[in-house]
Structure formats: C-alpha cells, structure tokens
Amino acid sequence: MSEAKHVPVLLDRVMDLLAPTVVGDRPVVVDATLGLGGHTEAMLNRFADLHVIGIDRDPEALARAKARLAGFGDRVTFAHAVYDEIADVVRDAGFSSVSGVLFDLGVSSMQLDLAERGFAYAQDAPLDMRMNPEDELSAADVLNTYEATELAKVLRYYGEEKFAKRIAEAVVAARDVEPFTNSARLVDLIRDSIPQAARRTGGNPAKRTFQALRIEVNDELGVYRRALPAALELLAPGGRVVVLAYHSLEDRITKHEFARATTTDIPRDLPFVPEGHEAKFKLVTRGAEVATEAEIEDNSRARSVRLRVAERVAA
C-alpha cells in the first residue's frame, strides 16, 4: 500500500462532545466514516469500556483501519458498507441503539493523498474518484457520457461553480476528439475555460469541478440525506450525533435536519408543551463551530470544517 497521512480534524473537541454519552455498561459509538481510524483510535484509548462500529465503503481504508486498530481486538466491529446502511449495520452487530454517531464527511485524507485514486487535482492520475472501487460509475464516465446540460447542472450544484456551463461545453467538445482518462487534461481544460481574472483568486480553479465530480460519482449528498435521520433514530436518550462537514451543501443538510429534529409540532405561542409533544432532540452546539487558527495551522484540512451536534433527550 502507498503511504497516506492522517490527521483527524477537531479531535479533542469531538472527544469532549462524545464524553457525556459514553457511559454505562458497554456504550457503543458508530464511526460512520471510519477512514484510517484516527477518531476511532482516540475514542478507544480515551473510553475504556467503549465499543466502536466502524463503517467505510472503501475496502482499502477498511484494511488500513483494521491494521491500525488490531490491538483493540473485539472492541471494534468493522463494516464494509455505505453509511446510509447504518441501521442495518448496527442491527447486524447485535445492538438496538447507540450512544453516539460520528460523521466526518467528504473525501478522506487517504483518498486525497494516494494519487492513483484520482481525487486530487494537483496530481495527474486516472479520473476515478470512486470511494468504493467496486462501484460502476467513475469520474471519467461522468465526463465522457453526460450531456452538456446535465454536466453543467452537476458542476453548478455540487461544485457551486459559476462557470459550469462553459466548462461543461468545453468538456463535451474535447471528448469528441478524445475521451477523458486522466486528471491533468481536465485541469488544463478548466483553467482555459475560466476567465483570466477569475483564475487569480480562490485557489486552484479545478477545485470546484473535482468536488462536484466526486460528489456525483459517490452520491454523497443523497447518501447523507438518508443517513443522518437514520443515525438520529438510532440514538439512545442522551446519545449524540456529531457532524464534521467541509462544504456548505453538507452543512446545509445537517442544519436543516437538526432543525427538523429539534422542533416541536405545536404552535410557538403556546405557553406550555403538552406531554408527548416534546422535541426528541436538542442542539448541543450553537450554530456551527469552526476550527481555531492553531488547529488550522497544524492541519490545513480543518480550515473549512463546520461542526454541529444534536442530542436525543426523549425516547
């Protein structure tokens, strides 16, 4: 295996937020985005009685996490699954509820650091971007088969790319000459498709397109929309869902779902809440927390993180 670095984002803060939930006889936390297992390793070291269920759709990430966490023995259950299957995974592991769920969303450090996976625009590599290499749809498939209007919609919505139409039309014209296979050609096309003035700010102009392709290939937002309410329903009273989101689309889903879960179905002007109509959840964080400058200096991937937490207060 190639080497991959892994620095968990907001590690100490995540541990502190989970600490009040990890009590009682054999508490269980689901690491829904196991990756290389950094957050899970920290949880197992800090909480002596904790059992962690680690989910990842990437078989290479699972293999690396298993090796890293081998010393914890049967305190970890590994599941090769997409995290919207969380209810089935927890049931199959023999549990009916959990004390906490952690979502560390987006692409993992391993997937970014390994050039052959095709996630990083800074290195020439095959246009793959599948988190599970067994899936059928790759980034090259999207570029070579989507109509211009469909591709522009993907880039505009998932990448928040202002020049989506220009890029999509350039892709369709270029693939008629030669299909897309590697990232360097796409990066050059994106740069040439964007006005010169727009290239001077906002970092690499390919960033937004690569994000959009990755989200489309892996149905990331669709999976997360299904997974978050399922995770909330799995919580025992006092249990928490902790979410680390890295772009506005993920954070918006989190914000809306938490707002729905923490709102009662009675009029706001009613002076009391009738029994049985209490909200099942409460917000633990006020708005979204961000990383400190010190953390960003240590780990540049923390720059865009948004942390939100909800807790179950009623059965």
**236 in the same domain as 92:** yes
β-bridge partners, 308:
243
For residue 3, which phi and psi values (nearest 5 degrees)? -75, 145
**228 in the same domain as 164:** no
| 186: Cβ contacts below 8 Å, ≥ 6 apart | 127, 143, 171, 180, 206, 209
pLDDT at 204: 81
CATH code of the domain in which 277 resides: 3.40.50.150
pLDDT at 50: 97
Instruction: Give the pLDDT confidence of 134-188 residue by residue, as tens digits.
Output: 999 999 999 999 999 999 999 999 999 999 999 999 999 999 999 999 999 999 9
Residue 75 identity (one-letter amino acid): R
Residue 30 identity (one-letter amino acid): V
Q: Can you give the pTM of this predicted structure?
A: 0.90
**200 in the same domain as 132:** yes
Q: How many domains does one find in the chain?
A: 2
Select from 278, 184, 223 the least CA-distant residue to 82.
223
User: With b meaning 16 or more CB within 10 Å and e meaning fewer, what string describes 151-180?
Assistant: bbbbbbebbebebbbbbbebbbebbeeeeb
Domain-terminating residue out of 172, 197, 218: 218
Binding-site residue numbers for S-adenosyl-L-methionine are 37-39, 56, 83, 104, 111
| 142: Cβ contacts below 8 Å, ≥ 6 apart | 151, 154, 213, 216, 217
Q: Containing domain of residue 156, as a range?
A: 115-218
Binding-site residue numbers are 37-39, 56, 83, 104, 111
CATH code of the domain in which 130 resides: 1.10.150.170
Instruction: Give the pLDDT confidence of 47-57 residue by residue, as tens digits.
Output: 999 999 999 99
**180 in the same domain as 303:** no
**211 in the same domain as 144:** yes
pLDDT at 267: 64
**139 in the same domain as 163:** yes
What is the Cα–Cα distance from 247 to 304, expressed in whole angstroms? 7
**91 in the same domain as 225:** yes
pLDDT at 2: 43
Contact 127, 56 (CB under 8 A): no
Which residue ranges of the chain lie beneath pLDDT 70?
A: 1-6, 107-120, 200-202, 265-277, 315
pLDDT at 4: 46
Token pair for residue 36? 């290389």
What is the Cα–Cα distance from 166 to 164, expressed in whole angstroms? 6
* Placement of tokens 């498939």 in the chain: 141
Select from 141, 114, 137 the least CA-distant residue to 125.
114
pLDDT at 255: 98
